Structures are given as C-alpha cells and as structure tokens.
Amino acid sequence: MNAVTRRRGLSTARIALLTIVTALIASMLAAAPGQAAETALIKWSTSATATETVTVKETATYNGYTGTGEATSTKTAVGIGTAEEATNWEVYYWATVRAQQAASDAAKAAADAEARPIAKQRALADAQAKAAAGPVYIEWSTTATVTESVTVTETATVDGYTGTGTATSTKTATGTGSAKELTYWEVYYWATVRAQAAASAKAKAAAETEARSIAKQRAEA
C-alpha cells in the first residue's frame, strides 16, 4: 500500500468518525432542555359511559306536622375527556380519567334531579297523613321502689300528767306510674316520676302508721 492509499483511507475514517460525533451532538442538543427543539405534545379525546344510583331524603312540614320522604333514581350518562400530554400512555390515562369523571358527574346530577322532587312529594304526603290522623300518643307504665323514714311525736295525758313519745319507722314500698305523651322521653319521664311518687307515698304512709302507734305508747308510758 503506497502513501496515497494510506492518506485516502485515513481521510475516510475521519469523515465517518466526524459524522457519528456530529449526529450524537445533534441528538443531545435536541434532548437538552431550553433548546429550540422540544418534544411535541399529543392531544387526544375519548368518551366514557357511567351509571350512577342516587338516594335522596327530604323532609316537609304541614300544619305543624313533619313528614319524611325518600326516593332512589338510577341514570346513565356519557362524558367526554380531553388531554394533552408528552406521551401516549399519559394522554390516554388522563383523557380516560376525565371522561369517566364527566360521565359520573352527569349521571349523578340526572339521578338527583329525578329523585329529589319525588322525595319531596313523598315527604309532603307523609306530613299531610300525619296531620289528618292527628296526634299519636305513646302509653307506657313502669314501677319504682322507694324507702322512706318517718319520725312521729305524740302526747298523752294520764291522771292529769302529760307525757310525750317519739318514734321513727322506715318502710320500703313499690309504686306504679303510667303516662300518655307524644314523645318517648316525655312518656318515660312522667311515668317514672309518678311511679316514684306513688312508691314514696306508700312508704311514708306505712312508716307513719307504725311510728305513730309506737309514739303513742311511749307517750302514755
């Protein structure tokens, strides 16, 4: 191989190397932030269908009576979702998520719009029925046990002499109380109060009867 051939071969190798280096630098510059070459965003839209069930509860008042109503509705709706991202998987993911959310929101809104008026109508009907029926009373009875102590002082005169006698007696008794009210707490309260009062009165009466007899005997003695 002569000198001319060697120089030509070396020249070709250098050109190939320079080509590779140039391509590498160009690709690095394209990927580097802040450079003129930027990654193009991908824009995509899709649709989704969702079915939602909504239960609504309402109250209504009529002539002082409160009624309750409930209704359930199921609706299906279609939503559109759009995304603009750098990669295919990102644009697909976000567009799908937004489409599903839009469909769900639309279905819920439609179901609520249908169920709420029905629930209100039922609540009003319930209140009107209660007003027509009038007050509904609750009846309840209970018992209570009470212990009472009574002290009695008596006087007695024998042959012109006056004596005094004192005695104390303790008795336990059970009483029954009943009530008829509009609410549970009222009927419970008044039935309990009356049962305790009845038991207390019985216990006091029994204790007084026993104590008075003993006090009289002591006064006479």
Task: Spell out the residues 6+ positions from residue 191 whose beta carbon is closer than 8 angstroms to its own.
Answer: 140, 141, 142, 177, 178, 179
Q: Are residues 96 and 111 in the same domain?
A: yes
Task: Spell out the residues 6+ positions from residue 168 whose beta carbon is closer than 8 angstroms to its own.
Answer: 149, 150, 151, 152, 211
User: Which of 78, 111, 133 is the endpoint of a domain?
Assistant: 133
Q: Are residues 128 and 175 in the same domain?
A: no
Counted domains in the chain: 2
User: Residues 31, 82: contact at Cβ < 8 Å?
Assistant: no
Q: Are residues 154 and 112 in the same domain?
A: no
In a domain, 12, yes or no: no
pLDDT at 136: 83
Residues in the chain, pLDDT under 50: 1-10, 21, 28-29, 31-32, 35-37
In a domain, 7, yes or no: no
Question: At 66, which amino acid appears?
Answer: T
Q: Which domain holds residue 166?
A: 138-220
169 CB neighbour count, 10 Å cutoff = 21
In a domain, 15, yes or no: no
Q: How far apart are CA 123 and CA 116, in angstroms?
A: 11
Q: Are residues 119 and 160 in the same domain?
A: no
pLDDT at 191: 97
